[in-house]
Amino acid sequence: MMEADILIENCSEIHTLKGPDRPRRGDEMQDTSKIKNGALAVKGESILAVGSDKEIKRDVEAEKIIDASGKTVIPGFVDPHTHLIYSGSREDELAMKIQGKTYMEILEEGGGILRTVRATRKASKQRLLEESKARMDRMLAHGTTTAEAKSGYGLDKKNEIKCLEVIDELDKSHDLDLIPTYLGAHSLPPEFERSEDYIDYCIEDVLPEIADKDLAEYCDVFCEKGVFDVEESRRLLKKAKQFGLKARVHADEIENIGCSKMAAELDAISAEHLVKTDEEDIIMMAESGTIGILLPGTPFMLMEEKYAPARQMIENGMAIALATDLNPNCWTESMQMVITLACLQMKMTPSEALTAATFNSARALDRPDIGSLEKGKKADFLVLDIPNIDHLPYRFGVNLVEKVYKRGEKV
């Protein structure tokens, strides 16, 4: 008999996502390694055993037994693209967008990112902590157990470091784990006239200090027409690599200027957004191993018709993950909502979307110990109040998460 702390029994379905330890592609995305009538045992912070209810009950004795009849168990969601740290909101810009203004027009008029930069620079560390923590509480309640968090609303050294320090404090004090990304190249700050000069500043002044203080694992750049071009982006990401920061890229969001190709050439861990990505880019990313992170909440909030070509990516064997893009332009903490949009707008199946929101998103953050429910992996999992996974995109706009377990503890 094995001794467990917790046994979750009589589960209608467990989607373990068990399988080879590399991003899932093509048909593999459809296979979530489902167990019908399953049970899951937890010991300490890890998974002790998972299998059929009969098997597990025969082999495991537990201190605490939880009945999950009619419920579905899945790994905790991993959200690999968020702009978690910001102050304020921009709800009035949604009203403008409804009346026909575009995102880029609002940005050019000093709204958008730069407006949030002003608010974030003004905010004290304490205030940023409080505003961001409220979002983390909602993320966790909606089933996200690990998330990436980008800086990028400070832009200058002092404020970017302030934001990254906030990420570090929140990671240490909150149940939700955060993985920090330096996104200094999110927008040209008002104190610079030329983007190449600002990139020099990021490379010479900011990156060394971030690396020295070990404040970021990744470096990201908003590679976009009118923001930072391919050459500037490549220059920054190459330097970041020398400082030990791995590359990820905002690519092909509004226009395709060759950013996802550059991401593939650089062997970036991920290229993110990819709304305007074409087949040639897809083939390059599939070959390089760069994971595509799709953010269907963004075109949804921009009221655009076009979404990332997820089907074409899956058919070409490119690994894809899903994320919220949580930011003042696309304010959602819910990976469940993202799954609904992925299925309805990008025609992903519920199983593919689940793979993309758990296993593949963990790989897009280089975290092999999460994203699947297997012996020895971290016990980060959700009990959903639904009898099967097809309910996940189907019952939209409400929270289907009944229980969240982080490192073996109910939170």
220 lies in the site for Fe ion, by CB under 5 A:
no
148 lies in the site for Fe ion, by CB under 5 A:
no
325 lies in the site for Fe ion, by CB under 5 A:
yes
Segments of 287-400 assigned E as strands? 291-294, 320-322, 381-384
* Residue showing tokens 């909606």: 142
Q: Is 46 exposed, middle or buried (0-12, 13-18, 19+ CB in 10 A)?
A: middle
> Using CB under 6 A, which of the segments 51-59, 112-120, 127-135, 201-209 binds ligand NIG?
112-120
What is the spatial order of strands in the sheet that 218-221 belongs to? Answer: 77-79, 144-150, 177-185, 218-221, 246-251, 270-273, 291-294, 320-322
329 lies in the site for ligand NIG, by CB under 6 A:
yes
For residue 94, the one-letter residue type is L
- Residue 380 binding result from ligand NIG, Fe ion, none, given CB thresholds of 5 to 8 Å by partner type: none
229 lies in the site for Fe ion, by CB under 5 A:
no
Radius of gyration (C-alpha) of the chain in whole angstroms: 21
Cβ 125 to ligand NIG shortest distance, Å: 20
Cβ 104 to Fe ion shortest distance, Å: 15
Residue count at the site for ligand NIG (CB under 6 A)? 13
Helices (H), 174-296: 195-201, 207-213, 230-242, 259-265, 279-288
Which residues face 247 on adjacent strands?
A: 219
CA contacts within 13 A on the Cβ side of 270? 30
Q: CB-wise, 250 or 406, nearer to ligand NIG? A: 250
Q: Which residue is nearest to ligand NIG (CB)?
A: 329
Cβ 138 to ligand NIG shortest distance, Å: 18
**Exactly one of 12, 82, 116, 372 binds ligand NIG (CB under 6 A); which one?**
116
- Phi/psi for 307 (5° steps) reads -120, 170
Cβ 211 to Fe ion shortest distance, Å: 22
Cβ 264 to Fe ion shortest distance, Å: 19
159 lies in the site for ligand NIG, by CB under 6 A:
no
**Exactly one of 182, 222, 228, 331 binds ligand NIG (CB under 6 A); which one?**
222
250 lies in the site for ligand NIG, by CB under 6 A:
yes
112 lies in the site for ligand NIG, by CB under 6 A:
yes
Q: CB-wise, 68 or 294, nearer to Fe ion? A: 294
Length of the chain equals 411
Q: CB-wise, 50 or 227, nearer to Fe ion? A: 227
Write the DSSP string, 358-372: THHHHHTTT-TTSSS
Helix, strand or coil for residue 402? Answer: strand
Q: CB-wise, 139 or 370, nearer to ligand NIG? A: 139
- For residues 4 and 43, give the distance between their C-alpha atoms in angstroms, rounded to a whole number: 5
**Exactly one of 328, 350, 371, 393 binds ligand NIG (CB under 6 A); which one?**
328
Cβ 81 to Fe ion shortest distance, Å: 6
- Residue 142 binding result from ligand NIG, Fe ion, none, given CB thresholds of 5 to 8 Å by partner type: none
Cβ 309 to ligand NIG shortest distance, Å: 18
- For residues 88 and 49, give the distance between their C-alpha atoms in angstroms, rounded to a whole number: 44
Q: Is 202 exposed, middle or buried (0-12, 13-18, 19+ CB in 10 A)?
A: buried
Q: Are strands 46-52 and 77-79 parallel, antiparallel or unpaired?
A: unpaired
Positive or negative, the CA dihedral 96, 259, 246, 241 is negative
154 lies in the site for ligand NIG, by CB under 6 A:
no
Binding site for ligand NIG (CB under 6 A): 83, 112-113, 116, 222, 250, 253, 298, 325, 327-330
Binding site for Fe ion (CB under 5 A): 325
